[in-house]
Structure 1
Amino acid sequence: MGPIGIFDSGYGGLTVFREIVGKLPQYDYVYLGDNARVPYGTRSFETVYAFTRECVEQLFSMGCHLVVLACNTASAKALRTIQQHDLPQCPDLRKVLGVIRPTTEVIGRYTQTRHVGVLATSGTVKSASYSIEIRKFFPDISVYQQACPLWVPLVENNELDSAGAAYFVQADVNRLLRQSPRIDTIILACTHYPLLLPLIQRFVPPHIRILAQGELVALSLADYLSRHPEVEQQCTTGGNVTFYTTDSAADFEEKAARFYGSPVTASETKLLL
Protein backbone atom coordinates (compact mmCIF):
# COMPACT_ATOMS: atom_id res chain seq x y z
CA MET A 1 0.00 0.00 0.00
CA GLY A 2 1.12 3.56 -0.56
CA PRO A 3 0.11 7.16 -1.34
CA ILE A 4 -1.43 8.48 -4.54
CA GLY A 5 1.17 10.17 -6.71
CA ILE A 6 0.48 13.47 -8.45
CA PHE A 7 2.92 14.61 -11.13
CA ASP A 8 3.36 17.87 -13.02
CA SER A 9 6.19 19.48 -14.93
CA GLY A 10 6.06 22.38 -12.47
CA TYR A 11 3.46 24.29 -10.50
CA GLY A 12 0.30 24.16 -12.60
CA GLY A 13 -0.68 20.69 -11.44
CA LEU A 14 -1.16 22.14 -7.97
CA THR A 15 -4.44 23.72 -9.16
CA VAL A 16 -5.68 20.20 -9.91
CA PHE A 17 -4.09 18.72 -6.80
CA ARG A 18 -5.86 21.12 -4.45
CA GLU A 19 -9.22 20.06 -5.93
CA ILE A 20 -8.31 16.38 -5.54
CA VAL A 21 -7.32 16.86 -1.90
CA GLY A 22 -10.49 18.86 -1.30
CA LYS A 23 -12.65 16.10 -2.79
CA LEU A 24 -10.70 13.12 -1.40
CA PRO A 25 -8.92 14.34 1.76
CA GLN A 26 -8.73 10.89 3.35
CA TYR A 27 -5.91 9.59 1.14
CA ASP A 28 -2.16 10.10 1.41
CA TYR A 29 -0.55 11.98 -1.48
CA VAL A 30 2.91 12.67 -2.89
CA TYR A 31 3.24 15.58 -5.32
CA LEU A 32 6.27 15.72 -7.60
CA GLY A 33 7.07 18.81 -9.67
CA ASP A 34 9.83 18.50 -12.28
CA ASN A 35 10.67 22.18 -11.94
CA ALA A 36 14.29 21.68 -12.99
CA ARG A 37 13.18 20.83 -16.54
CA VAL A 38 10.09 23.00 -16.99
CA PRO A 39 8.56 23.91 -19.41
CA TYR A 40 7.41 20.72 -21.10
CA GLY A 41 5.01 22.44 -23.51
CA THR A 42 7.63 23.33 -26.13
CA ARG A 43 9.50 20.00 -26.04
CA SER A 44 9.21 17.08 -28.45
CA PHE A 45 6.99 14.05 -27.86
CA GLU A 46 10.08 11.90 -27.26
CA THR A 47 11.52 14.26 -24.64
CA VAL A 48 8.22 14.72 -22.80
CA TYR A 49 7.71 10.95 -22.73
CA ALA A 50 11.23 10.36 -21.38
CA PHE A 51 10.91 13.04 -18.69
CA THR A 52 7.42 11.92 -17.67
CA ARG A 53 8.40 8.27 -17.48
CA GLU A 54 11.34 9.12 -15.21
CA CYS A 55 9.06 11.07 -12.86
CA VAL A 56 6.43 8.33 -12.83
CA GLU A 57 9.11 5.78 -11.97
CA GLN A 58 10.27 8.10 -9.18
CA LEU A 59 6.76 8.14 -7.72
CA PHE A 60 6.54 4.36 -8.05
CA SER A 61 9.79 4.12 -6.09
CA MET A 62 8.18 6.25 -3.36
CA GLY A 63 5.46 3.63 -2.93
CA CYS A 64 2.77 5.05 -5.20
CA HIS A 65 0.71 2.46 -7.08
CA LEU A 66 -1.55 5.07 -8.69
CA VAL A 67 -0.14 8.18 -10.38
CA VAL A 68 -2.14 11.07 -11.85
CA LEU A 69 -0.43 13.16 -14.54
CA ALA A 70 -1.77 16.59 -13.50
CA CYS A 71 -0.20 18.06 -16.63
CA ASN A 72 -1.87 18.43 -20.02
CA THR A 73 1.37 18.20 -21.98
CA ALA A 74 2.41 14.98 -20.24
CA SER A 75 -1.10 13.58 -20.63
CA ALA A 76 -1.09 14.46 -24.33
CA LYS A 77 2.42 13.33 -25.22
CA ALA A 78 3.32 10.56 -22.78
CA LEU A 79 0.30 8.95 -21.11
CA ARG A 80 -0.70 6.56 -23.89
CA THR A 81 2.84 5.19 -24.34
CA ILE A 82 3.28 4.73 -20.59
CA GLN A 83 -0.05 2.92 -20.32
CA GLN A 84 0.49 0.69 -23.34
CA HIS A 85 4.26 0.08 -23.23
CA ASP A 86 5.62 0.61 -19.73
CA LEU A 87 2.86 -0.46 -17.33
CA PRO A 88 2.44 -3.98 -18.80
CA GLN A 89 6.08 -4.62 -17.87
CA CYS A 90 5.52 -3.71 -14.21
CA PRO A 91 5.61 -6.69 -11.84
CA ASP A 92 2.63 -5.51 -9.76
CA LEU A 93 -0.57 -3.48 -10.11
CA ARG A 94 0.27 0.08 -11.14
CA LYS A 95 -1.94 2.64 -12.85
CA VAL A 96 -1.28 6.02 -14.47
CA LEU A 97 -4.14 8.43 -15.28
CA GLY A 98 -4.21 11.81 -17.03
CA VAL A 99 -6.27 15.00 -17.06
CA ILE A 100 -7.52 15.05 -20.65
CA ARG A 101 -10.03 12.21 -20.58
CA PRO A 102 -11.83 13.40 -17.40
CA THR A 103 -12.53 16.66 -19.24
CA THR A 104 -13.39 15.33 -22.67
CA GLU A 105 -15.73 12.56 -21.53
CA VAL A 106 -18.10 15.05 -19.87
CA ILE A 107 -17.83 18.07 -22.19
CA GLY A 108 -21.09 17.11 -23.91
CA ARG A 109 -22.97 18.02 -20.73
CA TYR A 110 -21.88 21.64 -20.94
CA THR A 111 -22.21 22.69 -24.59
CA GLN A 112 -25.55 23.40 -26.24
CA THR A 113 -24.26 24.62 -29.60
CA ARG A 114 -21.77 21.69 -29.85
CA HIS A 115 -18.99 24.16 -30.63
CA VAL A 116 -16.19 23.98 -28.05
CA GLY A 117 -13.01 26.06 -27.76
CA VAL A 118 -9.72 24.89 -26.27
CA LEU A 119 -7.04 27.22 -24.88
CA ALA A 120 -3.79 25.34 -24.38
CA THR A 121 -0.02 25.28 -24.74
CA SER A 122 1.51 24.84 -28.18
CA GLY A 123 2.42 21.24 -27.39
CA THR A 124 -1.09 20.27 -26.38
CA VAL A 125 -2.56 21.97 -29.44
CA LYS A 126 -0.11 20.21 -31.78
CA SER A 127 -0.96 16.85 -30.24
CA ALA A 128 -4.66 17.38 -31.14
CA SER A 129 -5.45 15.31 -28.04
CA TYR A 130 -8.56 17.25 -27.15
CA SER A 131 -9.99 17.07 -30.65
CA ILE A 132 -9.30 13.34 -30.85
CA GLU A 133 -10.67 12.50 -27.42
CA ILE A 134 -13.79 14.67 -27.72
CA ARG A 135 -14.55 13.09 -31.10
CA LYS A 136 -14.46 9.64 -29.47
CA PHE A 137 -17.16 10.57 -26.97
CA PHE A 138 -19.11 13.20 -28.93
CA PRO A 139 -18.69 12.96 -32.72
CA ASP A 140 -21.16 15.83 -33.18
CA ILE A 141 -19.00 18.38 -31.33
CA SER A 142 -16.73 20.71 -33.30
CA VAL A 143 -13.49 21.63 -31.52
CA TYR A 144 -11.51 24.84 -32.09
CA GLN A 145 -8.02 25.19 -30.60
CA GLN A 146 -5.84 28.18 -29.80
CA ALA A 147 -2.25 27.96 -28.59
CA CYS A 148 -1.31 30.47 -25.88
CA PRO A 149 2.50 30.21 -25.70
CA LEU A 150 3.01 33.18 -23.36
CA TRP A 151 0.39 32.39 -20.74
CA VAL A 152 2.49 29.96 -18.70
CA PRO A 153 5.46 32.39 -18.45
CA LEU A 154 3.05 35.14 -17.38
CA VAL A 155 1.73 32.95 -14.58
CA GLU A 156 5.14 31.64 -13.55
CA ASN A 157 6.48 35.20 -13.29
CA ASN A 158 3.42 36.35 -11.32
CA GLU A 159 2.42 38.92 -13.94
CA LEU A 160 -1.28 38.19 -13.63
CA ASP A 161 -2.27 41.84 -13.29
CA SER A 162 0.16 43.32 -15.80
CA ALA A 163 -0.77 45.19 -18.96
CA GLY A 164 1.19 42.61 -20.93
CA ALA A 165 -0.90 39.77 -19.51
CA ALA A 166 -4.11 41.55 -20.48
CA TYR A 167 -2.80 42.16 -24.00
CA PHE A 168 -1.81 38.56 -24.69
CA VAL A 169 -4.87 37.02 -23.02
CA GLN A 170 -7.21 39.24 -25.01
CA ALA A 171 -5.35 38.54 -28.27
CA ASP A 172 -5.46 34.76 -27.84
CA VAL A 173 -9.08 34.70 -26.68
CA ASN A 174 -10.07 36.78 -29.71
CA ARG A 175 -8.18 34.44 -32.04
CA LEU A 176 -10.11 31.51 -30.61
CA LEU A 177 -13.52 33.16 -30.79
CA ARG A 178 -12.94 34.26 -34.38
CA GLN A 179 -12.75 30.60 -35.37
CA SER A 180 -16.46 30.16 -34.65
CA PRO A 181 -19.15 32.54 -33.41
CA ARG A 182 -21.04 29.53 -32.05
CA ILE A 183 -18.52 28.59 -29.35
CA ASP A 184 -20.41 28.38 -26.06
CA THR A 185 -17.89 26.48 -23.93
CA ILE A 186 -14.14 27.00 -23.48
CA ILE A 187 -11.80 24.47 -21.87
CA LEU A 188 -8.74 25.81 -20.06
CA ALA A 189 -6.49 22.97 -21.17
CA CYS A 190 -3.50 23.95 -19.08
CA THR A 191 -3.36 23.71 -15.31
CA HIS A 192 -1.68 27.14 -15.08
CA TYR A 193 -4.62 28.91 -16.68
CA PRO A 194 -7.02 28.95 -13.67
CA LEU A 195 -4.80 31.65 -12.18
CA LEU A 196 -5.62 33.78 -15.22
CA LEU A 197 -9.35 33.10 -14.97
CA PRO A 198 -10.37 36.61 -13.77
CA LEU A 199 -8.46 38.08 -16.71
CA ILE A 200 -9.85 35.56 -19.19
CA GLN A 201 -13.39 36.34 -18.05
CA ARG A 202 -12.86 40.02 -18.93
CA PHE A 203 -12.51 39.12 -22.61
CA VAL A 204 -14.97 36.21 -22.92
CA PRO A 205 -18.66 37.04 -23.47
CA PRO A 206 -20.73 36.17 -20.38
CA HIS A 207 -22.83 33.55 -22.20
CA ILE A 208 -19.75 31.36 -22.77
CA ARG A 209 -18.95 28.82 -20.05
CA ILE A 210 -15.28 28.51 -19.04
CA LEU A 211 -14.20 25.14 -17.65
CA ALA A 212 -11.11 24.65 -15.50
CA GLN A 213 -10.03 21.04 -15.08
CA GLY A 214 -9.42 20.69 -11.35
CA GLU A 215 -12.93 19.87 -10.21
CA LEU A 216 -13.60 17.60 -13.20
CA VAL A 217 -10.41 15.60 -12.57
CA ALA A 218 -11.18 15.28 -8.85
CA LEU A 219 -14.69 13.97 -9.57
CA SER A 220 -13.31 11.56 -12.16
CA LEU A 221 -10.69 10.24 -9.74
CA ALA A 222 -13.32 9.65 -7.07
CA ASP A 223 -15.42 7.74 -9.60
CA TYR A 224 -12.40 5.74 -10.77
CA LEU A 225 -11.53 4.63 -7.24
CA SER A 226 -15.13 3.62 -6.55
CA ARG A 227 -15.16 1.50 -9.72
CA HIS A 228 -11.73 -0.05 -9.13
CA PRO A 229 -11.58 -1.35 -5.54
CA GLU A 230 -8.44 -3.31 -6.38
CA VAL A 231 -6.67 0.04 -6.93
CA GLU A 232 -8.40 1.90 -4.10
CA GLN A 233 -7.31 -0.78 -1.61
CA GLN A 234 -3.69 -0.02 -2.49
CA CYS A 235 -4.07 3.64 -1.42
CA THR A 236 -3.21 4.52 2.18
CA THR A 237 -5.64 6.74 4.08
CA GLY A 238 -3.79 8.92 6.54
CA GLY A 239 -4.57 12.31 5.05
CA ASN A 240 -0.86 13.11 4.64
CA VAL A 241 0.40 15.37 1.84
CA THR A 242 4.07 15.51 0.81
CA PHE A 243 5.65 17.76 -1.81
CA TYR A 244 8.82 17.12 -3.82
CA THR A 245 10.57 19.14 -6.51
CA THR A 246 13.51 18.39 -8.78
CA ASP A 247 14.71 21.98 -8.32
CA SER A 248 15.18 24.28 -5.32
CA ALA A 249 12.76 23.53 -2.49
CA ALA A 250 12.85 27.16 -1.36
CA ASP A 251 11.88 28.41 -4.81
CA PHE A 252 9.15 25.80 -5.06
CA GLU A 253 7.65 26.77 -1.70
CA GLU A 254 7.64 30.46 -2.64
CA LYS A 255 5.67 29.95 -5.87
CA ALA A 256 3.63 26.87 -5.03
CA ALA A 257 1.44 28.64 -2.48
CA ARG A 258 -0.14 30.74 -5.26
CA PHE A 259 -1.22 27.61 -7.12
CA TYR A 260 -2.13 25.41 -4.17
CA GLY A 261 -3.94 28.12 -2.26
CA SER A 262 -2.01 27.64 0.99
CA PRO A 263 1.64 27.42 2.12
CA VAL A 264 3.52 24.20 1.34
CA THR A 265 6.70 22.60 2.64
CA ALA A 266 8.75 20.82 -0.02
CA SER A 267 11.85 18.64 -0.31
CA GLU A 268 14.28 18.33 -3.19
CA THR A 269 14.62 14.95 -4.87
CA LYS A 270 17.06 13.49 -7.39
CA LEU A 271 15.48 11.53 -10.22
CA LEU A 272 16.39 7.89 -10.64
CA LEU A 273 18.05 8.16 -14.05
Structure 2
Amino acid sequence: MSIKGPIGVFDSGYGGLTVLKEIVKLLPAYDYVYLGDNARAPYGPRSFETVYHYTWECVQWFFKQGCSLVILACNTASAKALRTIQQNNLPDKWAGRRVLGVIRPTTERIGEFTKTGEVGILGTNGTVQSGSYVIEIEKFFPEIKVYQQACPMLVPLIENNEYETEGADFFVNKYLKNLLNQSNKIDTILLACTHYPLLKSKFEQLLPAGVTVISQGDIVAGSLANYLKRHPEIEEKCSKNGKIVFYTTDSTEDFNKQATTFYGHTVTSNHLDLTLNL
Protein backbone atom coordinates (compact mmCIF):
# COMPACT_ATOMS: atom_id res chain seq x y z
CA MET A 1 0.00 0.00 0.00
CA SER A 2 1.40 3.39 -0.99
CA ILE A 3 1.92 5.99 1.72
CA LYS A 4 -0.53 8.84 1.36
CA GLY A 5 0.14 12.48 2.19
CA PRO A 6 -1.38 15.95 1.84
CA ILE A 7 -1.25 18.20 -1.21
CA GLY A 8 1.29 20.95 -0.65
CA VAL A 9 0.45 24.56 -1.50
CA PHE A 10 3.31 27.07 -1.47
CA ASP A 11 3.63 30.83 -1.69
CA SER A 12 6.24 33.38 -0.73
CA GLY A 13 3.66 34.88 1.61
CA TYR A 14 -0.09 35.16 1.80
CA GLY A 15 -1.25 35.37 -1.81
CA GLY A 16 -1.36 31.62 -2.32
CA LEU A 17 -4.15 31.48 0.23
CA THR A 18 -6.48 32.99 -2.39
CA VAL A 19 -5.67 29.94 -4.53
CA LEU A 20 -5.91 27.45 -1.66
CA LYS A 21 -9.35 28.85 -0.79
CA GLU A 22 -10.67 28.01 -4.26
CA ILE A 23 -8.94 24.61 -4.32
CA VAL A 24 -10.48 23.60 -0.98
CA LYS A 25 -13.87 24.86 -2.15
CA LEU A 26 -13.72 22.59 -5.20
CA LEU A 27 -11.82 19.66 -3.67
CA PRO A 28 -12.71 19.65 0.06
CA ALA A 29 -12.04 15.97 0.70
CA TYR A 30 -8.26 16.18 0.34
CA ASP A 31 -5.70 17.07 2.99
CA TYR A 32 -3.58 20.19 2.43
CA VAL A 33 -0.50 21.73 3.96
CA TYR A 34 0.20 25.40 3.21
CA LEU A 35 3.56 27.10 3.62
CA GLY A 36 4.13 30.83 3.38
CA ASP A 37 7.82 31.78 3.25
CA ASN A 38 7.02 35.15 4.84
CA ALA A 39 10.46 35.55 6.41
CA ARG A 40 11.99 35.91 2.93
CA ALA A 41 9.10 37.61 1.13
CA PRO A 42 8.56 39.27 -1.24
CA TYR A 43 10.04 37.09 -3.97
CA GLY A 44 9.10 39.49 -6.79
CA PRO A 45 12.24 41.68 -6.80
CA ARG A 46 14.67 38.79 -6.21
CA SER A 47 16.91 37.18 -8.82
CA PHE A 48 16.05 33.97 -10.66
CA GLU A 49 18.76 32.11 -8.75
CA THR A 50 17.54 33.29 -5.34
CA VAL A 51 13.88 32.51 -6.07
CA TYR A 52 14.84 29.07 -7.35
CA HIS A 53 16.97 28.39 -4.26
CA TYR A 54 14.25 29.48 -1.83
CA THR A 55 11.49 27.66 -3.70
CA TRP A 56 13.43 24.41 -3.98
CA GLU A 57 14.19 24.49 -0.25
CA CYS A 58 10.48 24.77 0.49
CA VAL A 59 9.49 22.11 -2.04
CA GLN A 60 11.89 19.65 -0.43
CA TRP A 61 10.31 20.41 2.93
CA PHE A 62 6.88 19.55 1.48
CA PHE A 63 8.25 16.26 0.17
CA LYS A 64 9.53 15.42 3.65
CA GLN A 65 6.01 16.01 4.97
CA GLY A 66 4.80 13.22 2.67
CA CYS A 67 3.48 15.41 -0.17
CA SER A 68 3.58 13.76 -3.57
CA LEU A 69 2.10 16.84 -5.23
CA VAL A 70 3.05 20.47 -4.59
CA ILE A 71 1.33 23.50 -6.10
CA LEU A 72 3.43 26.65 -6.46
CA ALA A 73 0.59 29.09 -5.80
CA CYS A 74 2.98 31.94 -6.49
CA ASN A 75 3.48 33.47 -9.90
CA THR A 76 7.07 34.54 -9.21
CA ALA A 77 8.08 31.05 -8.08
CA SER A 78 6.21 29.54 -11.02
CA ALA A 79 7.99 31.89 -13.41
CA LYS A 80 11.51 31.70 -11.97
CA ALA A 81 11.80 28.25 -10.39
CA LEU A 82 9.24 25.74 -11.66
CA ARG A 83 10.89 24.71 -14.92
CA THR A 84 14.28 24.12 -13.29
CA ILE A 85 12.71 22.07 -10.51
CA GLN A 86 10.69 19.97 -12.95
CA GLN A 87 13.55 19.35 -15.36
CA ASN A 88 16.61 19.18 -13.11
CA ASN A 89 15.56 18.27 -9.59
CA LEU A 90 12.63 15.89 -9.78
CA PRO A 91 14.00 13.28 -12.24
CA ASP A 92 17.09 12.72 -10.07
CA LYS A 93 15.96 12.20 -6.47
CA TRP A 94 12.20 12.75 -6.51
CA ALA A 95 10.97 10.96 -9.63
CA GLY A 96 7.62 10.01 -8.07
CA ARG A 97 6.73 13.56 -7.00
CA ARG A 98 5.13 16.37 -8.99
CA VAL A 99 5.37 20.16 -8.75
CA LEU A 100 2.86 22.32 -10.63
CA GLY A 101 2.51 26.08 -11.03
CA VAL A 102 -0.20 28.66 -11.66
CA ILE A 103 0.96 30.06 -15.01
CA ARG A 104 0.18 27.19 -17.37
CA PRO A 105 -3.40 26.57 -16.11
CA THR A 106 -4.18 30.25 -16.67
CA THR A 107 -2.57 30.55 -20.07
CA GLU A 108 -4.35 27.44 -21.30
CA ARG A 109 -7.67 29.22 -20.84
CA ILE A 110 -6.92 32.90 -21.45
CA GLY A 111 -8.22 32.68 -25.00
CA GLU A 112 -11.72 31.93 -23.68
CA PHE A 113 -12.02 35.41 -22.19
CA THR A 114 -10.80 37.79 -24.88
CA LYS A 115 -12.77 38.85 -27.94
CA THR A 116 -10.31 41.40 -29.30
CA GLY A 117 -7.33 39.05 -28.98
CA GLU A 118 -5.45 41.56 -26.81
CA VAL A 119 -4.66 40.71 -23.21
CA GLY A 120 -3.00 42.63 -20.37
CA ILE A 121 -0.89 41.08 -17.62
CA LEU A 122 -0.42 42.72 -14.22
CA GLY A 123 2.29 41.08 -12.09
CA THR A 124 5.37 41.50 -9.96
CA ASN A 125 8.68 42.62 -11.44
CA GLY A 126 9.89 39.04 -11.39
CA THR A 127 6.89 37.62 -13.23
CA VAL A 128 6.92 40.35 -15.88
CA GLN A 129 10.68 40.21 -16.42
CA SER A 130 10.58 36.44 -16.85
CA GLY A 131 8.29 36.78 -19.88
CA SER A 132 6.62 33.55 -18.78
CA TYR A 133 3.09 34.64 -19.64
CA VAL A 134 4.10 35.92 -23.05
CA ILE A 135 5.86 32.62 -23.79
CA GLU A 136 3.08 30.36 -22.51
CA ILE A 137 0.22 32.27 -24.14
CA GLU A 138 2.13 32.11 -27.43
CA LYS A 139 2.10 28.31 -27.18
CA PHE A 140 -1.67 28.02 -26.77
CA PHE A 141 -2.94 31.16 -28.52
CA PRO A 142 -0.29 32.49 -30.92
CA GLU A 143 -2.77 35.01 -32.33
CA ILE A 144 -3.19 36.82 -28.99
CA LYS A 145 -1.22 40.01 -28.34
CA VAL A 146 0.06 40.27 -24.78
CA TYR A 147 0.91 43.49 -22.94
CA GLN A 148 2.55 43.51 -19.52
CA GLN A 149 2.81 45.92 -16.60
CA ALA A 150 4.89 45.39 -13.47
CA CYS A 151 3.22 46.54 -10.24
CA PRO A 152 6.00 46.61 -7.64
CA MET A 153 4.07 48.56 -4.98
CA LEU A 154 0.97 46.36 -4.79
CA VAL A 155 2.27 43.40 -2.78
CA PRO A 156 3.85 45.63 -0.09
CA LEU A 157 0.62 47.64 0.14
CA ILE A 158 -1.47 44.49 0.48
CA GLU A 159 0.81 42.81 3.01
CA ASN A 160 0.88 45.96 5.11
CA ASN A 161 -2.91 46.04 5.11
CA GLU A 162 -2.97 49.24 3.06
CA TYR A 163 -4.90 47.85 0.11
CA GLU A 164 -8.08 49.79 0.92
CA THR A 165 -6.36 53.15 1.26
CA GLU A 166 -5.97 56.09 -1.11
CA GLY A 167 -2.36 55.04 -1.57
CA ALA A 168 -3.53 51.77 -3.06
CA ASP A 169 -5.99 53.67 -5.28
CA PHE A 170 -3.14 55.79 -6.61
CA PHE A 171 -0.96 52.86 -7.61
CA VAL A 172 -3.80 50.75 -9.01
CA ASN A 173 -4.80 53.68 -11.21
CA LYS A 174 -1.19 54.32 -12.23
CA TYR A 175 -0.49 50.73 -13.24
CA LEU A 176 -3.78 50.38 -15.09
CA LYS A 177 -3.11 53.55 -17.09
CA ASN A 178 0.39 52.35 -17.96
CA LEU A 179 -1.05 49.07 -19.20
CA LEU A 180 -3.98 50.48 -21.15
CA ASN A 181 -1.79 53.14 -22.76
CA GLN A 182 -0.04 50.28 -24.56
CA SER A 183 -3.24 49.44 -26.45
CA ASN A 184 -6.87 50.58 -26.41
CA LYS A 185 -7.98 47.13 -27.58
CA ILE A 186 -7.15 45.27 -24.38
CA ASP A 187 -10.37 43.63 -23.22
CA THR A 188 -9.00 41.10 -20.73
CA ILE A 189 -6.67 41.77 -17.80
CA LEU A 190 -5.11 38.93 -15.86
CA LEU A 191 -4.12 39.49 -12.24
CA ALA A 192 -0.89 37.51 -12.48
CA CYS A 193 -0.13 37.68 -8.78
CA THR A 194 -2.12 35.74 -6.21
CA HIS A 195 -2.17 38.79 -3.91
CA TYR A 196 -4.05 40.92 -6.40
CA PRO A 197 -7.54 39.42 -5.97
CA LEU A 198 -7.81 41.62 -2.87
CA LEU A 199 -7.65 44.58 -5.25
CA LYS A 200 -9.90 43.13 -7.94
CA SER A 201 -12.85 45.39 -7.15
CA LYS A 202 -10.61 48.47 -7.40
CA PHE A 203 -9.34 47.38 -10.81
CA GLU A 204 -12.88 46.75 -12.03
CA GLN A 205 -14.12 50.15 -10.84
CA LEU A 206 -11.40 51.97 -12.75
CA LEU A 207 -11.68 50.04 -16.01
CA PRO A 208 -13.90 50.96 -18.95
CA ALA A 209 -16.95 48.83 -19.66
CA GLY A 210 -16.23 45.63 -21.50
CA VAL A 211 -12.86 44.88 -19.90
CA THR A 212 -12.79 41.62 -17.94
CA VAL A 213 -10.55 41.13 -14.92
CA ILE A 214 -9.43 37.56 -14.24
CA SER A 215 -8.04 36.19 -10.99
CA GLN A 216 -6.43 32.77 -10.90
CA GLY A 217 -7.88 30.86 -7.95
CA ASP A 218 -10.84 29.09 -9.56
CA ILE A 219 -8.90 28.44 -12.78
CA VAL A 220 -6.06 26.75 -10.88
CA ALA A 221 -8.54 24.78 -8.78
CA GLY A 222 -10.29 23.46 -11.88
CA SER A 223 -6.97 22.61 -13.48
CA LEU A 224 -5.91 20.66 -10.38
CA ALA A 225 -9.15 18.69 -10.35
CA ASN A 226 -8.58 17.79 -14.00
CA TYR A 227 -4.95 16.87 -13.32
CA LEU A 228 -5.90 14.48 -10.53
CA LYS A 229 -8.42 12.76 -12.83
CA ARG A 230 -5.78 12.37 -15.54
CA HIS A 231 -3.07 11.16 -13.16
CA PRO A 232 -4.53 8.49 -10.87
CA GLU A 233 -1.01 7.43 -9.91
CA ILE A 234 -0.61 10.79 -8.18
CA GLU A 235 -4.19 11.11 -6.96
CA GLU A 236 -4.00 7.81 -5.09
CA LYS A 237 -1.05 9.16 -3.08
CA CYS A 238 -3.10 12.11 -1.80
CA SER A 239 -4.74 11.58 1.59
CA LYS A 240 -8.37 12.49 2.16
CA ASN A 241 -9.33 13.55 5.65
CA GLY A 242 -10.42 17.12 4.90
CA LYS A 243 -7.56 18.48 7.04
CA ILE A 244 -5.61 21.71 6.42
CA VAL A 245 -2.40 22.70 8.25
CA PHE A 246 -0.76 26.11 7.86
CA TYR A 247 2.92 27.00 8.28
CA THR A 248 4.87 30.23 8.06
CA THR A 249 8.59 30.91 8.24
CA ASP A 250 7.92 34.16 10.12
CA SER A 251 5.68 35.27 12.98
CA THR A 252 2.62 33.06 13.46
CA GLU A 253 0.77 35.94 15.11
CA ASP A 254 1.29 38.18 12.09
CA PHE A 255 0.50 35.34 9.70
CA ASN A 256 -2.76 34.42 11.43
CA LYS A 257 -3.94 38.03 11.38
CA GLN A 258 -3.14 38.63 7.71
CA ALA A 259 -4.00 35.16 6.43
CA THR A 260 -7.59 35.41 7.55
CA THR A 261 -8.06 38.29 5.10
CA PHE A 262 -6.70 36.26 2.18
CA TYR A 263 -8.26 32.92 3.07
CA GLY A 264 -11.63 34.16 4.24
CA HIS A 265 -11.61 32.06 7.42
CA THR A 266 -9.73 32.09 10.69
CA VAL A 267 -6.27 30.62 10.31
CA THR A 268 -4.04 29.15 13.02
CA SER A 269 -0.49 28.58 11.80
CA ASN A 270 2.67 26.82 12.93
CA HIS A 271 6.15 28.33 12.78
CA LEU A 272 8.70 26.63 10.53
CA ASP A 273 12.45 27.19 10.77
CA LEU A 274 13.75 25.87 7.46
CA THR A 275 17.33 25.80 8.74
CA LEU A 276 16.30 23.09 11.20
CA ASN A 277 14.16 21.10 8.78
CA LEU A 278 16.39 20.58 5.74
Candidates 14, 22, 26, aligned match of 2:17: 14
**Residue aligned with 1:50, SS:** helix
The aligned counterpart of 2:53 is: 50
Question: Does structure 1 residue 23 correspond to structure 2 residue 23?
Answer: no
Candidates 70, 77, 101, aligned match of 1:74: 77
Question: Does structure 1 residue 153 correspond to structure 2 residue 156?
Answer: yes
- Separation (CA, whole Å) in 1 of partners of 2:122 and 2:249: 28
Question: Does structure 1 residue 190 correspond to structure 2 residue 193?
Answer: yes
Alignment size in residue pairs: 273
Please state how far the C-alpha of 1:91 moved relative to its aligned partner: 4.7
Candidates 232, 235, 238, aligned match of 2:238: 235
TM-score, with structure 1 as normaliser: 0.99
Please state how far the C-alpha of 1:3 moved relative to its aligned partner: 0.4
- Separation (CA, whole Å) in 2 of partners of 1:245 and 1:118: 28
Candidates 126, 129, 143, aligned match of 2:146: 143
The aligned counterpart of 1:175 is: 178
After alignment, is 45-54 or 161-170 more displaced? 161-170
- Separation (CA, whole Å) in 1 of partners of 2:42 and 2:160: 13
Please state how far the C-alpha of 1:248 moved relative to its aligned partner: 1.2
After alignment, is 195-204 or 208-217 more displaced? 195-204
The aligned counterpart of 1:96 is: 99
**Residue aligned with 1:166, SS:** helix
The aligned counterpart of 1:223 is: 226
Candidates 132, 137, 150, aligned match of 1:129: 132
After alignment, is 156-165 or 129-138 more displaced? 156-165
Supply the AA of the counterpart residue of 1:189: A
Question: Does structure 1 residue 250 correspond to structure 2 residue 253?
Answer: yes
**Residue aligned with 2:42, SS:** coil
- Separation (CA, whole Å) in 1 of partners of 2:103 and 2:53: 19
- Separation (CA, whole Å) in 2 of partners of 1:244 and 1:91: 23
Please state how far the C-alpha of 1:89 moved relative to its aligned partner: 1.1
- Separation (CA, whole Å) in 1 of partners of 2:94 and 2:199: 42
Supply the AA of the counterpart residue of 2:212: R
Candidates 115, 119, 124, aligned match of 1:116: 119
The aligned counterpart of 2:215 is: 212
Please state how far the C-alpha of 1:204 moved relative to its aligned partner: 1.0
Please state how far the C-alpha of 1:161 moved relative to its aligned partner: 1.9
- Separation (CA, whole Å) in 2 of partners of 1:244 and 1:234: 22
TM-score, with structure 2 as normaliser: 0.97
Candidates 244, 258, 263, aligned match of 1:260: 263
The aligned counterpart of 2:89 is: 86
Structure 1 residues 111-141: Cα deviation after superposition (integer angstroms, max 9, x where no partner): 1111000000011000000000000001000
- Separation (CA, whole Å) in 2 of partners of 1:218 and 1:206: 28
Structure 1 runs of 4+ aligned residues shifted over 2 Å read: none
**Residue aligned with 1:181, SS:** coil
Please state how far the C-alpha of 1:92 moved relative to its aligned partner: 4.8
- Counting aligned pairs with the same residue, the percent is 62
- Separation (CA, whole Å) in 2 of partners of 1:56 and 1:87: 10
Structure 1 residues 153-179: Cα deviation after superposition (integer angstroms, max 9, x where no partner): 111111122111111100100110010
- Separation (CA, whole Å) in 1 of partners of 2:261 and 2:33: 18
